[in-house]
Amino acid sequence: MIGVGVIGYGYWGPNLVRNFVEAPGSQVLAVCDLRPERLALARSRYPAIETTTDYREVLADGRIDAIAIATPVSTHFDLAMQALRSGRHVLVEKPLTATSEQAARLIEEAAARRRVLMVDHTFVYTGAVRKIRELVAGHELGDIYYYDSVRVNLGLFQHDVSVIWDLAVHDISIMDYVLPSRPLAVSATGMSHVPGEPENIAYLTLFFDGRLIAHIHVNWLAPVKVRRTLIGGSRKMIVYDDLEPSEKVKVYDKGITVNKDDAESVYEMLIGYRTGDMWAPQLDMTEALRVEAAHFIRCVERGERPVSDGEAGLRVVRILEAATQSMAERGRLVEVTVG
C-alpha cells in the first residue's frame, strides 16, 4: 500500500484526495493546507486522515511514500524539491514549475534519487484525448495540417499567473501528447483588463517544422464556456468538444484534393472537396483524474515512467516561457528551447 500525502486543499486538492482515496493500492494519510477552514472540510469528509498547516509535518511522516502538490505555481519547485530530497515520489499540479530551469533541476533530482516525478496534465488521461492520440499515431488523419483550440469561460481569475499559464497549459499538454512533432517557435499576444493583474485573454500561434501550425485561444472574459479543439489532416479531421456529454470526439471524412497534373499555372489548379461520413468512436468515460491517480500509484510500485513525466512537464513550461516572452513583446516570434 502506497502512503500518500497531499499538500494543498484549495480548488484542486480535494479532487486529488478523493481519487487517491479510491485508487487501488493507495492510502491518503495526511492533508496539508495553510487555511484551517479548508482542513476542517477535509476532516469532515475523511475523519481518518491527519491534517496539518505545516507541510514539514507531512515530509516528516515516515509512512508517506508519495507527495501530491496542489499549491500556487510559485511554490511548486521548492515543495517538490524538498519532497524528492526526503525520498518521496512526487506528483505536481500543472504547470510543473514557474521556470524551465526549475523543471530541469527537479528532473535531475528525481533521476538521481530514482523517484517518480509526474505532472498533473489531467487531460492526457481522458478517454477522448487518448483516442485522439491513437487516431493520430495510426495515421487515420494522414498528415496533420493544423491544431486549433478554444478554451474560454467567465473566470476563474488567477492573481499569480496569466491565462496562458492557467488555461493554455491544458491545450499545450494535449498538443504535446497527441501531435507527432514539437513546436519550434511561438508568437503570442494578450491583454489584461483588470489593473495590476496578469493577462486574462491570449492568442498563441505555434510553428512546427513543415506545414503543421497550431493556434490556441484562451480567455477568462467570455460570456459562454467553450472547450473545443479541431485537428485537421490530409485524410480526415477531428472535432473534440470536451463539453459534449457523450460524443466528445467526432471524426469527419472530409478534406480537399489538389489536382495540378494538367495545370499549366497555379490559376488552373483544380481543388476537389471530399465529403464523407462522420463517426464518433466509443470512449473510455472513466474520470481522468481517477485514471491518473491509478497510473501514478502503478508507476511508484513498478518503477515505471509516467505518461506525463517530468520531461513532458519541462516541454510544456518551455512553451509557456516562450509564449510569455512573446506576449510581453507584442507577438514577436520566439524560438522554443529544445533538448
- State the pLDDT at residue 257: 75
Q: Are 185 and 319 in contact (CB under 8 A)?
A: no
With a CB cutoff of 8 Å and minimum separation 6, the contacts of 161 are 73, 198
Span of 201-210, 256-265, 306-315 with lowest mean pLDDT: 256-265
Tell me: do 292 and 280 sit in the same domain.
Answer: no
Tell me: do 242 and 153 sit in the same domain.
Answer: yes
34-56 residue pLDDT tens: 999 999 999 999 999 999 999 99
Tell me: do 100 and 242 sit in the same domain.
Answer: no
Which band of pLDDT confidence, cut at 50, 70 and 90, is reported for residue 159?
Answer: confident
Tell me: do 73 and 13 sit in the same domain.
Answer: yes
Tell me: do 275 and 227 sit in the same domain.
Answer: yes
Which band of pLDDT confidence, cut at 50, 70 and 90, is reported for residue 260?
Answer: low
314 occurs within a structural domain: no
Tell me: do 153 and 270 sit in the same domain.
Answer: yes
Which band of pLDDT confidence, cut at 50, 70 and 90, is reported for residue 266?
Answer: low
- State the pLDDT at residue 271: 74
Which band of pLDDT confidence, cut at 50, 70 and 90, is reported for residue 88?
Answer: very high
Model pTM? 0.94
Closest C-alpha among 106, 120, 56 to residue 77:
106
Tell me: do 216 and 191 sit in the same domain.
Answer: yes
10 occurs within a structural domain: yes
226 occurs within a structural domain: yes
Tell me: do 169 and 262 sit in the same domain.
Answer: yes
Tell me: do 152 and 41 sit in the same domain.
Answer: no
185-240 residue pLDDT tens: 999 999 999 999 999 999 999 999 999 999 999 999 999 999 999 999 999 999 99
Res. 317: pLDDT tops 90: yes
Provide the residue range defining the domain that includes 218: 126-284+319-335
Tell me: do 272 and 147 sit in the same domain.
Answer: yes
- State the pLDDT at residue 296: 98
> How many domains does the chain fold into?
2
Which band of pLDDT confidence, cut at 50, 70 and 90, is reported for residue 272?
Answer: confident
76 occurs within a structural domain: yes
173-187 residue pLDDT tens: 999 999 999 999 999
Tell me: do 144 and 240 sit in the same domain.
Answer: yes
Percent of the chain surpassing pLDDT 90: 90
For residue 293, what is the domain's CATH number? 3.40.50.720
Tell me the residue type at 83: A
18 occurs within a structural domain: yes
For residue 161, what is the domain's CATH number? 3.30.360.10
- State the pLDDT at residue 55: 97
Mean pLDDT of 19-48: 97
Mean pLDDT of 254-261: 72
CA 319 to chain centre: 12
70 occurs within a structural domain: yes
212 occurs within a structural domain: yes
Tell me: do 70 and 160 sit in the same domain.
Answer: no
